[in-house]
Amino acid sequence: MSDILSTPHFETALARRAAPAGLGFAVREMTDRGMIDLRGLASDRKFMTAVKGVLGTDLPKAPRSAVAWGDIKVLWLSPDQWLVLCPRARAVALAAELTAALAGIHSQVTNVSDMRTVLRLEGANLRTTLAKGTSTDLHAAEVKPGFVKRLKFAEVGALINIVEDQIFELYVFRSQADYVWDFLIAIGGSAAELHLFGKQSPA
Amino acid sequence: MSKPRRLSSGGSRIDRSSRVSFTFDGKLMSGYRGDTLAAAVMANGQRLFGRSYKYHRPRGVIGLGSEEMNALVGVGTGARHEPNARATQVELFEGLAAVSQNRFPSLSFDVGAINNTLSRLFPGGFYYKTFMWPKVFWKHIYEPVIRKAAGLGVAPEGRDPDSYEQIHVHADVVVVGGGVAGLAAAEAAAVMGARVIIADENAVLGGISDLEDGTIDGAPQAEWARAAAQKLYDAENVHVLTRATVVGHWHHNYVMIAERVGDHDPAIPKSGAPRHRLWKVRAKQVILATGALERPIAFANNDRPGIMLATAVRAMVQRYGVAPGEQGVVFTNNDDAYLTALALKEAGIAVQVVDSRARADGALPERARAAGIAISTGSVISAVKGKLGVEAVKIASYRKGQGRVVSERSAPCDFIAVSGGFNPAAHLWCHNGGKLTFDEGLQSYRPGSHADAIVAVGAAKGTMALADIMAEARAAGEAAAKVALPKAKAAKLAKLAISEDARKPLEAIWFAPATGKYNEGNKHFVDFQHDVTVADLELAQREGYESIEHTKRYTTFGMATDQGKVGNLNGLGAIAEATGKTIPEVGFTTFRPPYTPTSFGAITGSLTKKLFLPVRQTPVFDWHMMKGAVFEPVGQWRRPYTYPRDGEDKHVSIAREILNVRNNVGVLDASTLGKIEVKGPDAGAFLDRIYTNMMSTLKPGRCRYGLTLNELGFIMDDGVVVRFDDERFLVHTTSGGADRIAAWLEEWLQTEWTDYRVFVTPVTEQWAQFAVAGPRARDVIAALKPSFDVSHEALPHMSFVEGTLGALPVRVYRISFSGELSYEIATPANHGRALWDALLQAGAPHGILPYGTEALHVLRAEKGYIVVGDETDGTTTPDDVGLSGLVSKKKADFIGKRSLEQAHLKAPNRKQLVGLYTENPEEVLPDGAHAVAEVKDKPPMKTIGHVTSSYLSPTLGRSIAMALIENGRARMGDVLSFPLDGKVVRATVVDPVFYDKEGARLNV
């Protein structure tokens, strides 16, 4: 028990899962991600200035976009909601800094680092493979690095962020991480891999 | 009677160097790679494929592809068996095992065929007329017998071993059908840069170009099709799908395509690829190039094996090198079928033509004449000799509209190729409300107007001449690309030089007069799949089924898997003739998706087994699993119901868990509890409107239980509200209500109270939360090095503190749902397992044990605490459950306040929450048992209320129950009667708080 009480033991949702062989992409859980849910009014100059003072970057105002600055990244969630990403170790302090800077300004800062599971997917054919789980058109022109969207994935709510052309991050609620993991394995087998459009050979 | 056979040469689709062996009804047969099952079985000398649905008449192949309605077979064995496959679509592979359907005991001798002899007893609407009385026979006698006699195929045995999947795809243009029209449209759209999906249900693109006579740029049109298909395969912006049937079209051009990925090669699904894949496509533009379906002619006994559509006969000869027999008759009302006569002649098979038209002088008939083929114009087939096949026909003279045979002669033959014209395949056009218009030239319906961005081209639109088809298809492809991509530049495609023999008009024939008495052994089939004859349709008209939709249901014409493909128009024509109406006056029936039967596997996709329903797991779910917990669903969560040990019965483990909370200490995984943070200068005022009681007066660091009502004044949810500081609150909701309440709060803020400066953020998943309950609870917390004072004075009932337990950050709420000293401890979810383990370890000396939701429920019932959804049912007010004290009288307003003033919510005799003690303390009333005003021998009895919760309380050593009873609070001490099966249970009305009424155990 002394051990339990002296170090803050930490176990993410998928700590006991490993990706099987034969997947058409790589997948791993990003356990080092700190997440802060930030609410405020983009129209409130004081709010925007105070946030920039802490984060070093303006909040993205364009729907479905993201900005990055140093080890911080901010995902647009809605006109008055953002998800601030930072190293997990920094989340508590950063949330406190934001809260302090926003004192007296209508806003809400909530550390939600444990609320979601982040799955990092890497592969050349992700847009097509993930289309087995979502009706969002991942081949659309706007789906480029920086793109953020909340969507229905398989049977649950999720958030997708295009990190690089072949690296996507899928955010799902922690309680559903196991379900999404199983779904990715079910649709992701190389044998079921599908290449959309492009040159084909007649069957 | 001769048999069909493989010709010594020919067959564009087959590879004669590659033999394939397969079985049909257990008989070992051999075919070639490229064969369909239909072709291969016929090449083995067999015409008979199955028995019909109602009369059990012998049936053979009739069609070319998916429109086949006779030769339905079962493919595969055991769990991989699939019934009702069309033999004309089943591609042959080594080891294929197929069986015929609907025959008993064997295909060539079927006892059910007596139904045919007795067919006067089985008229149209037979089911409705015969199986009416007595009602008790419906389920146990009539239905099983009918199902056995009439069924189509059998279900597979066992669980499907294959996998399935779905995919969502977005495209600029979806082209349905890969015949020449589809290929031309796809090419025209693709060269402009549009993302095009072209889907065809067959294995090979090109449609029936290989069976047609027109040439493009001096070469057979099939060569152009091959080259065009290759261009599409090579294009970067085109996706070609074969073996993929567009099964439905819905609003906004949502198109569903069922792709049979692995049916033709069992190695594919075994490799891990899905057997079927369902494509859910959102298309900006849809081009229907589905072609046309040949229709038969209704003549006497036109269902005999060996009678096929003319194009199907042509395909047998030209694609598969199969002769349907030695001596054929082509029976037609149009020029196109002469191509079949010419093909037969060229293959060395004897053939003559019977043409119902008075004159046959088009280019194709002239070619046939020149080839020495005998043509009888103004003639019909009036009789067919033979049962399991065709032995001879009678040819009668005929003038349009003639109903009787005047003169006839016999002609030997062993197969018949029939063509009554072509119907545009407009099924998909109609799925989403497209209108049809009647085309006098085709004597058929063709696409008219449509509200969606969809067009039909080629034969699907009723355009039959090759030059017109190509021009129309290219224009449609270009137009679709232009609309989908407004900036696309037009791209000129090379002009095509097209030549084709012109066709003379057909002459509609809906009924060919027959030798002998009409319908006495002379059945003119319209819908082969359902054994519907012209006589059945006429009878339905005589019986008053004037609406075509009523006739369809009464006779089963055009229903089920056929969806009006082959027989539809002939039926409409027959009805028109019988009633003296025109076909447009008769109307047409509804075409519904799917166009062809679609597997349940494709419809379900990968969402089977554990993926069927998302199960939400708390941070200590693995621990519960490891400890063998019995789970219960709560919303999508799975919560431990109880933790039986060492083979304990559930009742034993639940009682143990309860007593351990009362006597020692228990720990409960309460992580599923809904948690919403509410923050802002107006947060207090906002919550005052959300809850019935006052929340703005709550002091920081304190907790308050509250009720939320809907606008109707009925209890919607409940939970504890915590105030962190001036502007920050935490709202707890029920486990199942978390998402709903979060959305409810947002809705009021966003749509009604937009002036409130409040933000809400759901945080349910951020926290693992455990209840530590029991007299020793404080000792357990104290053992975990709390950074805060846990004394009763510092942390009294309904208070809150934030700090650490050892190294773990925690929020501690001293709240209780058990009536015991109790703390709910929250820690960030990823520390959940560590906290859980620490609590168990620290609690071990104090006898800590985990308890499940059933113990939780009994504990709260002993205290008379309500559960929303048990004690409330959506029509329950706070006063009904004795919580009027929680309804503020001071507040100006809150949701539901106005409704609570309604007379019927204040009326006397409302059901009120009471406790019940059964006379026999061992007797546990069932949930939902009704108390009655007066016990009678049998229902109906007037009910005065019902049991909402009922348990055996180990704490009290007897049963307890809660109930909503009319005017219940005035009935204290009354004995109520609950009639159950075979007995009446009597129970005394008591206060619903059964245990520790003073709350002494809470305040320690």
Please tell me the distance in Å from A157's CA to the nearest CA on chain B.
11
Beta-bridge partner residues of B851: none
- Count of other CB atoms within 10 angstroms of residue B966: 17
C-alpha closest to that of B173 among B459, B432, B460, B477: B477
pLDDT in tens, B636-663: 999 999 999 988 999 999 999 999 999 9
What mean pLDDT do residues B329-336 have?
Answer: 97
| Cβ within 8 Å, pair B234-A199 | yes
Query: Domain B167-292+424-492, what architecture?
Result: 3-Layer(bba) Sandwich (3.50)
**Closest chain A residue to the Cα of B237, Cα to Cα:** A197
User: Among all chains, which residue has been given the structure tokens 């295909």?
Assistant: B107
Q: Where along chain B do its domains lie?
A: 1-155, 167-292+424-492, 296-420+503-523, 527-597, 613-664, 669-846, 860-990
pLDDT for the residue numbered B491: 82
| Cβ within 8 Å, pair A4-B765 | no
Q: Measure CB to CB from residue A4 to each of B273, B677, B837 and give the nearest one.
A: B837
Judge whether B513 and B376 are in contact, CB under 8 Å.
Answer: no
Helix (H, G, I), strand (E, B) or coil at B181: helix
| Cβ within 8 Å, pair A192-B272 | yes
B120 falls in which pLDDT band (50, 70, 90)? low
Measured between beta carbons, the chain A residues lying within 8 angstroms of B761 are 37, 39, 108, 110, 112
Please tell me the distance in Å from A145's CA to the nearest CA on chain B.
20
| Cβ within 8 Å, pair B611-A189 | no
pLDDT of B16 over the 50 cut: yes
pLDDT of B139 over the 90 cut: no
Judge whether B821 and B775 are in contact, CB under 8 Å.
Answer: yes
Q: Which of residues 179-198 of A touch B (CB under 8 A)?
A: 179, 182-183, 186-187, 189-192, 194, 196-198
pLDDT of B925 over the 60 cut: yes
| Cβ within 8 Å, pair B761-A110 | yes
Measured between beta carbons, the chain B residues lying within 8 angstroms of A171 are none
Cα(B780)–Cα(B663) distance, rounded to whole angstroms?
Answer: 14
pLDDT in tens, B382-434: 999 998 899 999 999 999 878 788 889 999 999 999 999 999 999 999 999 99
- DSSP per position, B79-92: GG-EEEEETTTPBP
Whether A153 is covered by a domain: the verdict is yes
Taking the Cβ of residue B609 and every Cβ of chain A, the question of whether any pair is shorter than 8 Å is answered with no
pLDDT for the residue numbered A2: 47
More confident residue, B821 or B406: B821
- Count of other CB atoms within 10 angstroms of residue A142: 12
| ipTM of model | 0.96
Q: How are beta strands B27-33 and B48-51 bridged, if at all? A: unpaired
Cα(B241)–Cα(B175) distance, rounded to whole angstroms?
Answer: 10
pLDDT for the residue numbered B113: 62
| Cβ within 8 Å, pair A135-B168 | yes
pLDDT for the residue numbered A4: 64
pLDDT in tens, B431-475: 999 999 999 999 999 999 999 999 999 999 999 999 999 999 999
Cα B931 to chain centroid, rounded: 42
Cα(B762)–Cα(B765) distance, rounded to whole angstroms?
Answer: 8
pLDDT in tens, B339-385: 999 999 999 999 999 999 999 999 999 999 999 999 999 999 999 99
Whether A11 is covered by a domain: the verdict is no
Cα(B701)–Cα(B123) distance, rounded to whole angstroms?
Answer: 81
- DSSP per position, B491-535: -PPPP--EE-PPPPPP---S----SSSTTSS--BEEETTTTEEHH
Taking the Cβ of residue B47 and every Cβ of chain A, the question of whether any pair is shorter than 8 Å is answered with no
Q: What is the DSSP letter of B15?
A: E
Taking the Cβ of residue B229 and every Cβ of chain A, the question of whether any pair is shorter than 8 Å is answered with yes
Q: Measure CB to CB from residue A191 to each of B236, B271, B621 and give the nearest one.
A: B271
Q: Which of residues 87-126 of A touch B (CB under 8 A)?
A: 106-108, 110-116
B578 falls in which pLDDT band (50, 70, 90)? confident
Cα(B610)–Cα(B424) distance, rounded to whole angstroms?
Answer: 44
Please tell me the distance in Å from B172's CA to the nearest CA on chain A.
11
| Cβ within 8 Å, pair A11-B832 | yes
pLDDT for the residue numbered A183: 97
What percent of chain B has pLDDT above 70? 95
| Cβ within 8 Å, pair A132-B829 | no
Stated length of chain B: 1004
Taking the Cβ of residue B38 and every Cβ of chain A, the question of whether any pair is shorter than 8 Å is answered with no
Cα distances (Å, whole numbers) of residue B730 to B309, B701, B883: 74, 11, 22
What mean pLDDT do residues B702-731 have?
Answer: 97
What percent of chain B has pLDDT above 90? 83
Number of domains in chain A: 1
| Cβ within 8 Å, pair B273-A8 | no
Q: Measure CB to CB from residue A192 to each of B229, B274, B679 and give the nearest one.
A: B274
Which token pair is B65? 């592809």
Taking the Cβ of residue A11 and every Cβ of chain B, the question of whether any pair is shorter than 8 Å is answered with yes
Taking the Cβ of residue A78 and every Cβ of chain B, the question of whether any pair is shorter than 8 Å is answered with no
Taking the Cβ of residue B725 and every Cβ of chain A, the question of whether any pair is shorter than 8 Å is answered with no
Cα(B987)–Cα(B214) distance, rounded to whole angstroms?
Answer: 90
Please tell me the distance in Å from A58's CA to the nearest CA on chain B.
21
Measured between beta carbons, the chain A residues lying within 8 angstroms of B829 are 13, 114-115, 174
pLDDT for the residue numbered B123: 61
- Count of other CB atoms within 10 angstroms of residue A121: 21
Which token pair is B771? 């209840």
| CATH numeric code, B669-846 | 3.30.1360.120
Top residue of B91, B164, B166, B168 to mutate, by most chain A CBs within 10 Å, is B168
Q: Which of B138-152, B856-870, B898-912 has the lowest mean pLDDT?
A: B138-152
What mean pLDDT do residues B849-864 have?
Answer: 98
Whether A10 is covered by a domain: the verdict is no
Measured between beta carbons, the chain A residues lying within 8 angstroms of B831 are 8-11, 114
**Closest chain B residue to the Cα of A38, Cα to Cα:** B761
Q: Measure CB to CB from residue B765 to each of A107, A132, A174 and give the nearest one.
A: A174
Cα(B824)–Cα(B826) distance, rounded to whole angstroms?
Answer: 7
- Cα angle at B757 between B754 and B763, to 5 degrees? 105
Which token pair is B449? 């107007």
Q: What is the DSSP letter of B291?
A: -
pLDDT for the residue numbered B228: 97
Judge whether A189 and A139 are in contact, CB under 8 Å.
Answer: no
pLDDT of B729 over the 60 cut: yes
pLDDT of B824 over the 50 cut: yes
pTM over 0.80: yes
Cα(A99)–Cα(A50) distance, rounded to whole angstroms?
Answer: 10
Domain of residue A171 covers 23-190
Taking the Cβ of residue A1 and every Cβ of chain B, the question of whether any pair is shorter than 8 Å is answered with yes
What mean pLDDT do residues B295-323 have?
Answer: 96
Whether A200 is covered by a domain: the verdict is no
Q: How are beta strands B728-733 and B715-723 bridged, if at all? A: antiparallel
What mean pLDDT do residues B559-585 have?
Answer: 86
What mean pLDDT do residues B806-824 have?
Answer: 96
B771 falls in which pLDDT band (50, 70, 90)? very high
Cα(B881)–Cα(B864) distance, rounded to whole angstroms?
Answer: 10
Helix (H, G, I), strand (E, B) or coil at A148: strand
| Cβ within 8 Å, pair B834-A194 | no
Measured between beta carbons, the chain B residues lying within 8 angstroms of A192 are 163, 165, 272-274
Same fold, B167-292+424-492 and B296-420+503-523: yes
Measured between beta carbons, the chain A residues lying within 8 angstroms of B242 are 202-203
For residue A65, the domain's CATH number is 3.30.1360.120
Regions in chain A scoring below 70 on pLDDT? 1-5, 203
Query: Domain B860-990, what architecture?
Result: 2-Layer Sandwich (3.30)
pLDDT for the residue numbered B481: 96
Cα(B940)–Cα(B946) distance, rounded to whole angstroms?
Answer: 15
Topology given in CATH for the domain delimited by B296-420+503-523? FAD/NAD(P)-binding domain (3.50.50)
Please tell me the distance in Å from B194's CA to the nearest CA on chain A.
11
CATH 3.20.20.80: does it fit domain B1-155?
no
Helix (H, G, I), strand (E, B) or coil at A143: coil
| Cβ within 8 Å, pair B236-A16 | no
Cα(B802)–Cα(B813) distance, rounded to whole angstroms?
Answer: 9
What mean pLDDT do residues B747-776 have?
Answer: 97
What mean pLDDT do residues B94-108 have?
Answer: 81
What mean pLDDT do residues B101-111 have?
Answer: 66
Cα distances (Å, whole numbers) of residue A139 to A57, A65, A131, B47, B267: 29, 16, 9, 50, 31
Tally C-beta pairs within 8 A across A and B: 182
The rounded mean pLDDT for chain B is 93
**Closest chain B residue to the Cα of A7, Cα to Cα:** B807
pLDDT in tens, B949-986: 999 999 999 999 999 999 999 999 999 999 998 899 99
Measured between beta carbons, the chain B residues lying within 8 angstroms of A22 are 272
